[in-house]
């Protein structure tokens, strides 16, 4: 009897098939038209986008769109090549110079996505005799980078410097000369909590380990010039590699890693997710470059965090079990039962608010979340409308009493 | 002080208590995914507790080979004997 390769997915399919079809399935929504960073037409209805990670609203920034259009007209729709063959245009080099200036580092490498940046850096930098120690709540791209590489992978309890230190000490006791890479995130996307980078990085440095911080959700949002949580906490000197993405605050697509390591540039030769994939299209590169310039000198993050605090405070005052604090752009309420969470999501959609339904294993501690990521482009009216619908539906479903 | 595999197994079973929601009788052949219905994150959390109890490093790399409590006890034994 031949085995069906897809048999292993039967349980996943079974639970997926229990969800409603089409646009009221939380995982198959499609947008008929997009109106602005915060509004789209879905199911023929004008809908507020409440969970897009479009923190700065950069997707429709006039200067970014103009830069993209000019690059499109001058350089065409794509590079059709790897960075190391025919895929490096002047724009890619300017973008890397812009990143070096943005972070004040010696080196910057641009990848085609943030996912690939994590895959590439983690899998390449940590080799067969090395160790990678990751936070338990790390993003899938960090776990996948570990799976792709050949290092020994160890996991420490989320945001717990003592737990990390214990693991470092154990490794050092056995392996005094091994290379060690500690991987953390600036902001964890589900609940918006920040890593205590100082304590974690100091534990790492005590054991001569390198520190990588993924600032995917914090670039643009934190720090005096928008570099992220390490800048906000004044600990950039403790960080060896900063990874980030252009798919959130920067409003387009792409990933990067910046560093001061003197041999960093060799990665352009040995890092497979950099070498064996096509480079970003010129229009994307141009809009990312423009957005970085704008983010560095903007105070949109103040407006963003005010927006987030308004929603977080409103939810908390209404009596929800709020998983976030309002100190990040994330607002998430915890719903005990998964079917209630799904119904909640659908009713929000019917009322014209598109939030994220986040369920395990994407969430920590098995939580079901109704998750919003605020944007500086949200108006106060939009936030108040979201809040009003959260409360009405919460009462309707018995989540609020 | 060297522990035998069966002593390790007994200690692992004690550490398993919070993960044994259905109060099964734990045996060497008890599986995490099927019998205990643990997802991969819960298995990793459980291993963290085991790491700290025995003061050893259990790399995530060996996770795919750890399907039963017996496998974990054997793995800890090997790591301690190294
Ligand atoms: C922490 C973290 N790292 C990396 C990524 C991947 O970024 P990208 O969308 O550029 O692949 C994301 C976003 O999904 C993320 O949340």
The interface pTM score, or ipTM, of the predicted complex is 0.92
- Note whether A23 and A43 are within 8 A (CB): yes
* CA–CA gap between residue A115 and residue A184 (Å, rounded): 15
Q: Which residues of B touch A153 (CB under 8 A)?
A: 59-61
Distance A184 CA to ligand 1 centre (A): 13
Domain coverage including residue B17: 5-81
Identify the three-state secondary structure at position A196.
Answer: coil
* CA–CA gap between residue A374 and residue A372 (Å, rounded): 6
pLDDT of B41 above 90: no
Q: Within this chain, do residues A101 and A245 fall inside the same structural domain, yes or no? A: yes
* CA–CA gap between residue A204 and residue A166 (Å, rounded): 11
DSSP string covering B7-73, please?
Answer: HHHHHHHHHHGGG-TT-PPP-TT-BTTTTS---HHHHHHHHHHHHHHHT----GGGGGG--BHHHHH
Domain count, chain B: 1
For residue A16, the model assigns a pLDDT of: 87
Q: Within this chain, do residues A98 and A234 fall inside the same structural domain, yes or no? A: yes
**What pLDDT digit, counting tens, does each position of A321-373 carry?**
999 998 999 999 999 999 999 999 999 999 999 999 999 888 988 899 999 99
Q: What is the DSSP letter of A4?
A: P
For residue B21, the model assigns a pLDDT of: 87
- Note whether A108 and A258 are within 8 A (CB): yes
Q: Within this chain, do residues A316 and A202 fall inside the same structural domain, yes or no? A: no
Mean pLDDT, residues A143-172 taken together: 97
* CA–CA gap between residue A51 and residue A314 (Å, rounded): 17
Ligand 1 site residues (CB inside 6 A) read A 113-115, 118, 139, 141, 185, 189, 214, 216-217, 245, 247, 255
Residue A1 located in a structural domain = no
Domain coverage including residue A244: 62-296
**What pLDDT digit, counting tens, does each position of A164-212 carry?**
999 999 999 999 999 999 999 999 999 999 999 999 999 999 999 999 9
Relative to the CA of A248, which ligand 1 atom is closest? 9
Q: Within this chain, do residues A88 and A219 fall inside the same structural domain, yes or no? A: yes
Catalytic residue status for A283: no
User: Can you give the CATH number for the domain in which B50 is found?
Assistant: 1.10.1200.10
**Which residues of chain A from 358 to 397 reach within 8 Å of chain B, CB to CB?**
360-361, 366
* CA–CA gap between residue A167 and residue A108 (Å, rounded): 30
Residue A288 located in a structural domain = yes
List the single best residue of A129, A145, A154 to mutate versus B (max B Cβ within 10 A).
A154
The residue out of A274, A296, A318 marking a domain boundary is A296
For residue A21, the model assigns a pLDDT of: 79
**What pLDDT digit, counting tens, does each position of A258-302 carry?**
999 999 999 999 999 999 999 999 999 999 999 999 999 998 999
The residue out of A276, A296, A316 marking a domain boundary is A296
Relative to the CA of A255, which ligand 1 atom is closest? 10
Q: Which residues, listed in sequence order, are joined to residue A51 by a DSSP beta bridge?
A: A373
Mean pLDDT, residues A32-59 taken together: 96
For residue A9, the model assigns a pLDDT of: 93
For residue A93, the model assigns a pLDDT of: 98
Residue A108 located in a structural domain = yes
pLDDT of A73 above 70: yes
Of the pLDDT bands very low, low, confident and very high (cuts 50, 70, 90), residue B15 is very high
**What pLDDT digit, counting tens, does each position of A189-200 carry?**
999 999 999 999
pLDDT of B1 above 80: no
pTM for this model (two decimals)? 0.96
**What pLDDT digit, counting tens, does each position of A50-64 carry?**
999 999 999 999 999
For residue A398, the model assigns a pLDDT of: 95
Residue nearest to atom 10 of ligand 1 (CA): A114
Q: Within this chain, do residues A242 and A349 fall inside the same structural domain, yes or no? A: no
Q: Which residue did the predictor score with more confidence, A212 or A28?
A: A212
Q: Within this chain, do residues A66 and A201 fall inside the same structural domain, yes or no? A: yes
Residue A401 located in a structural domain = no
Residue A78 located in a structural domain = yes
Residues of B with CB under 8 A from a CB of A: 39-41, 44-45, 48, 51-52, 55-57, 59-61
Residue nearest to atom 3 of ligand 1 (CA): A216
């Amino acid at each position: 009897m031949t085995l069906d390769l897809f048999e292993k997915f039967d349980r996943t399919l079974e639970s997926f098939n229990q969800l409603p079809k089409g646009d009221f399935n939380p995982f198959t929504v499609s947008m008929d038209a997009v109106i602005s960073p915060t509004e789209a037409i879905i199911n023929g209805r004008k809908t507020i986008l409440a969970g897009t990670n479009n923190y700065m609203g950069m997707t429709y920034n006039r200067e970014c769109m103009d830069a993209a259009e000019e690059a499109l007209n001058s350089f065409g729709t794509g590079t059709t090549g790897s960075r190391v063959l025919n895929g490096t245009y002047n724009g890619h080099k300017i973008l890397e110079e812009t990143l070096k200036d943005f972070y004040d580092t010696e080196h910057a490498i641009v990848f085609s996505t943030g996912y690939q940046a994590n895959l590439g850096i983690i899998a390449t930098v940590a080799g067969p005799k090395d160790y990678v120690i990751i936070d338990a709540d790390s993003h899938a791209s960090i776990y996948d980078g570990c799976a792709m590489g050949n290092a020994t992978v160890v996991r420490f309890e989320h945001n717990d410097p003592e737990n990390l230190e214990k693991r470092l000490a154990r490794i050092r006791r056995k392996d005094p000369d091994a290379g060690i890479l500690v991987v953390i995130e600036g902001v964890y996307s589900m609940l918006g909590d920040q890593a205590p980078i100082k304590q974690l990085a100091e534990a790492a440095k005590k054991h001569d380990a390198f520190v990588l911080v993924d600032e995917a959700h914090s670039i643009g949002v934190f720090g005096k010039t928008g570099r992220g949580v390490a800048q906000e906490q004044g600990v950039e000197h403790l960080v060896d590699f900063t990874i980030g993405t252009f798919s959130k605050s920067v409003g387009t697509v792409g990933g990067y890693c910046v560093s001061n390591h003197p041999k960093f540039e060799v990665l352009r030769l040995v890092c497979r997710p950099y070498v064996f994939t096509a480079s970003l299209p010129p229009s994307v590169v141009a809009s990312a470059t423009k957005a970085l310039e704008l983010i560095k000198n903007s105070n949109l993050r103040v407006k963003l965090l005010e927006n987030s605090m308004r929603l977080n405070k409103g939810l908390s005052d209404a009596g929800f079990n709020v998983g976030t604090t309002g100190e990040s752009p994330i607002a998430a309420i915890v719903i005990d039962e998964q079917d209630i969470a799904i119904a909640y999501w659908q009713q929000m959609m019917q009322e014209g608010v598109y939030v994220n339904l986040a369920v395990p294993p994407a969430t920590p501690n098995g939580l079901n979340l109704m998750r919003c990521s605020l944007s500086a482009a949200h108006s106060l009216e939009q936030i108040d409308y979201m809040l009003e619908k959260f409360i009405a539906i919460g009462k309707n479903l018995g989540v609020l009493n | 002080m060297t522990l035998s595999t069966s002593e390790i197994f007994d200690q692992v079973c004690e550490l398993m208590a919070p993960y044994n929601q259905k109060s099964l009788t734990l045996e060497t052949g008890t599986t995490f995914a099927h019998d205990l219905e643990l997802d991969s994150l819960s298995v990793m959390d459980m291993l963290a507790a085991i790491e700290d109890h025995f003061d050893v490093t259990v790399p995530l790399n060996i996770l795919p080979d750890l399907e039963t409590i017996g496998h974990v006890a054997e793995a800890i034994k090997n790591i301690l004997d190294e």
